[in-house]
Structure 1
Amino acid sequence: MELAPLGPVAFLDTAGIDDQSNLGEQRTAKTLEALASSDIVLVVAPPGQWGLFEQQIADKARAQNTPVIPVVTKIDLQPADPDWLNRIEAECGTKALAVSCAQAASDHAVREQFLNRLASALLAVCPESLLSPPPLLGDLISRAEKTATAPPVAVLVVPVDSGAPKGRLILPQVQAIRDALDSGIAACVVRECEYEGFLSSLSRAPDLVVCDSQVARFVAERTPSESALTTFSILFSRAKGDIVSMAAGAARIQSLKPENRVLVAEACTHHAMKDDIGTVKIPRWLRKAAGPGVRIDHARGRDYPDTLAEYALVIHCGSCTLTRREMLVRIQKAKEAGVPITNYGIAISALQGVAERMLEPFPEALSAWRTALAADKAQISERTISMEAP
C-alpha cells in the first residue's frame, strides 16, 4: 500500500502466537520471524482482551526497539473501557487506534478515515532512517562536481539478456535511476555491448559507472581509472545491509574447499530462467573457483534456514525486496552462527577478480575486504605448513 510520505508499505498479516493447534508451533515461528523483520508492529486485539500473548508480542517488539501500535477492533460490538485503553497505551508507549472492520468494509468514508489515522500513527513512530533514507548513489559524486555548469554523469550498464524481465528494468536499476535524478546527476543507461562506443562519444570520463554484477569484469576493463565504478548489487549491500561485513565475508571465497557447503539466498521468488544468476551462474562460477564438489543450497523468499552453522559461506542477493531491518537480521544470524556472509555483487566481483575496483567507492568496505583477504590467506598458509610439517 502506498502511504505518503512513507511510500510503499508492506503489511504482513500473521497468525499470532496463541495458536494451540497441531500447526501452532510453525505458525508461531512464522509470526516471530515476521516480527524480527518488521519496522513497526501493530498488535490487534478486541476490547478488553489484552493478555499474555499480546503482551509477549509487545515486549518482544520493544526489546528489539521496534515501535508498537495497539489496534482495537470490533468497537461496533463493544466500546473499549477507558482504563483498559490507558493501560495498553502505557504498555506500548503509543496511542491506540480503534476501528470497526465491519463498518470500514461497508462504508468507504469510514475506511478512508481509518487509513488516514493509521498513516498518521505510522508517521508518528516511524524511524527517521525510513523517512529520510540515505542516497543509493548520490553521495558517491562530490558536491563540487554537482555544482559545476554541466551535471555530473552516471552511466548505468544494463545487460538485456535471457534473464532480464520482458519490457522493463529490475527494481535496483529503476531505483538507481531515480536516486540519480533526485541527486542532480544525469543518468545514461546503455547495454554492455554499446558501453565502449558510448564512452567514446562523451567529452570527458563519466563521474560514476554502475553495472550489472555479471558484466563486472567486462565493464571494469573498459572503464577509465578516474571514474568511480561499482555494481547495482553492491549499492544495495550498503543501502539494505552492512557493506563492510559483506565485503569481509567475500574473502571466504578464496579458501572454499570442494567439501564445503554454500548457501545462496534470494529474497524474491521470481521464476528462474535457464541462465538465472542465483541458481545457475553463481553456482557455476563457485564450482570453477573451488572445485566441482562444492555443495550449493538455495533459500528463496522469506525462508531463511536456522541451520546456518552448516555452511562455509552465505551469498545473499541484493535484497531489494526486503526491508533494511530484515536484511540486517539475516546478517546478524549469520554472524551468530560464525558464518561469513556476502552478497551477489561483491561475490561475483571477487570471482571475476575485480572486487578491489568495485569496492573503491567505499573505503571502509575496501579496507575490510583487504584485511579479511590477508587473514584468510594467512590461515591457509598456516594450514599448509602444518600439513607439511614432519
Structure 2
Amino acid sequence: MTDAPRPQRLHIGLFGRRNAGKSSLCNALCGQEAALVSPMPGTTTDPVEKVMELAPLGPVVLLDTPGLDDAGELGAQRVARSLRAVREVDMALIVLEDCLWGLPEQQAVRALRTAEVPFGIVCNCRDAGMAGMARNWRPPAADLPAGVPLAVCRLPSGEDGASLANAAADLAEVRELLAQLPPREDEAPLLRDLLPEGGCLILVCPQDGSAPKGRLIMPQVQAIRDALDGQALCMVVTDAGYAAALMALREPPHLVVCDSQVVAAVAAATPPAVPLTTFSILMARLKGDLPLLARGAAALRRLRPGDTVLIQEACSHHPQADDIGRVKIPRLLARLAGGEVACPMLSGRHWREYRSGQPARAVVHCGGCTLTRRQMNQRLEEAARARLPMTNYGMAISLAQGVLERVLSPFPEALEAYRAAALDAAHNTGQD
C-alpha cells in the first residue's frame, strides 16, 4: 500500500499508426521491455499498461494502444478500441513515423479534442537528417489547434538493453513536452476539508465475510491517509465497537464515516448533531459529480415492480455468496419498488453494452475505486446525455435504508440536488 493507487496516477496515452514507434517510446520511457516490439505491423493488438514513476510528472500509467491504421474487420475493432481509450487518459502523445501525417492522425486529434484531453506530437525520426527537418515541421493548421507542442526523438528498432538505455537518454524533448501539457484537474481531498484542524474522526469499517483478509479496502486506506494529511485524530473501529468508541470520547467526533452496509445501525447510534456520511459518498465526491449522482438516486424512488435497473461494476471480481451488486442491491431495489426489479449485472462492462427489449430506468454503479476521476465522469456524462439516471451503490443503499438525506448533509449542494429531484419524482408519480 506504499505505492500510489492506480486511479490516482496520471494516465498518459500513446496513439499513432502501426510501427510508428509507440511501443518503443513506451519501453524507452520506462527503461524496460514493457511492450512487445517487432518490425511486423500490428504487434500491439490490445492496449498495454505500464505503471511507473516519470519525472517530472510523478506516478503515471503509460497506455500503449493498437495502431490507428490497422486494416480488416479485426483491425477496425482494434482501431475502435484505441479510440475508446482516449476517454480513459489524462493526456496523450500522438506518435508519428518521421513526419507522416494523414487520416489516422486527424482521427486521433478529433477524438482527443472531443474528449478535451491535452496532447502533444512526437516525431520518431529514423535518422539525424529527418530529425532536423522535423523540428521545423508542423501538421496542417486545419488539422491541429494552435499551441500543440511537438518533440523529436530517435527511437531504436531493437530492444536490447543498450539501445533502450540510449533511447531513454534521448527523450529530453519528450519529457519537456509532457511537462508542458496542462495538468488534470486537482482532485478534492477525500474528507479532510470536512474537519477542523486537529479534529476527531471515526471510521466504521465492518470486517465481515466479504472484507479482504489481512487488509482494509482501498477507500478505507485512502480515508486514513487523508485524515493524517489533515492532522486529524482518526479512530478506526468495527461496527460492533462503534458505541464503545463514542463513549470513550470526551467530546462528540467532528465526523463519522461508515460502510454503506451498516449505515442504518450507525445512523441510529450517532447523535443527530454529529455529521455522518459513508465511504461510498466520499468516493463519489472524489471521483465524480456528487450532485448528479444524488439526482440519480432520487430516480430510484420512481421504480415499479418489473422495471430494469442496470448494475455496473468497473472491475471483474469473484462474487461472494451475499455479493453486494448481485444480491444486496437487487434486494434493496425490490424493497423500494414494492416488488421484484430486473438487475442485469455488467461486471467490467459499460452500460452501453446492455442489449434487451426492456429499457433501463437507471444505472447503479459501484464506487469506482479502480477508475480515475476522468473515467468516472465520462460514464456520468454519457449517461446524462442518454437521459439515463446514474447513482452509486452507497447512495442506493442509504436511500433504501431511509438515511440518504442524513449522509448527504455534510454536502449541501448534493443534498439540495437530491431534494429537488425527489420532489420532481414525487410530482411525476403523483406521490405527496
TM over 0.5: yes
> Which secondary structure does the structure 2 equivalent of 1:239 belong to?
helix
> Which secondary structure does the structure 1 equivalent of 2:240 belong to?
helix
Residues 252 and 160 of structure 1: is their aligned pair in 2 closer, same or farther, counting only changes over 3 Å? same
TM-score by length of 1: 0.87
Q: Deviations over 1:239-289 (max 9, x none)?
A: 111100110110111211122111111112222222221222111211232
Residues 202 and 379 of structure 1: is their aligned pair in 2 closer, same or farther, counting only changes over 3 Å? same
Q: Deviations over 1:174-213 (max 9, x none)?
A: 1111111111112211111111111111111111111111
Q: How does 1:233-272 map to 2 (within 5 A)?
A: 233-272=280-319
d(CA) in 1 for partners of 2:218, 2:310: 23
Alignment partner of 1:311 is 2:311: no
Residues 267 and 76 of structure 1: is their aligned pair in 2 closer, same or farther, counting only changes over 3 Å? farther
> Which secondary structure does the structure 2 equivalent of 1:134 belong to?
coil
Alignment partner of 1:122 is 2:169: no
Alignment partner of 1:180 is 2:235: no
In the other structure, the counterpart of 1:369 is 418
Alignment partner of 1:358 is 2:407: yes
In the other structure, the counterpart of 1:96 is 151
d(CA) in 2 for partners of 1:97, 1:274: 55
Choose the corresponding residue for 2:397, options 338, 348, 352: 348
d(CA) in 1 for partners of 2:238, 2:57: 33
Residues 115 and 83 of structure 1: is their aligned pair in 2 closer, same or farther, counting only changes over 3 Å? closer
Q: How does 1:138-217 map to 2 (within 5 A)?
A: 138-141=192-195, 145-146=196-197, 151-217=198-264
Q: Deviations over 1:131-174 (max 9, x none)?
A: x4221111112xxx31xxxx211111111111111211111111
Unaligned runs of at least 5 residues, structure 1: 385-390
Q: How many residue pairs get matched?
A: 374
Moved more, 312-321 or 111-120: 111-120
Contact residue 123 and residue 134 of structure 2 kept, 8 A: no
d(CA) in 1 for partners of 2:248, 2:277: 21
> Which secondary structure does the structure 2 equivalent of 1:87 belong to?
coil
Choose the corresponding residue for 1:331, options 380, 394, 418: 380
More helix by share: 1
Contact residue 310 and residue 351 of structure 2 kept, 8 A: no
TM-score by length of 2: 0.79
Unaligned runs of at least 5 residues, structure 2: 1-50
Contact residue 200 and residue 232 of structure 2 kept, 8 A: yes
d(CA) in 2 for partners of 1:7, 1:43: 21
C-alpha RMSD over aligned residues: 2.6
Measure how far apart 1:306 and its partner are. 5.1
d(CA) in 1 for partners of 2:232, 2:429: 44
Choose the corresponding residue for 2:137, options 79, 86, 101: 86
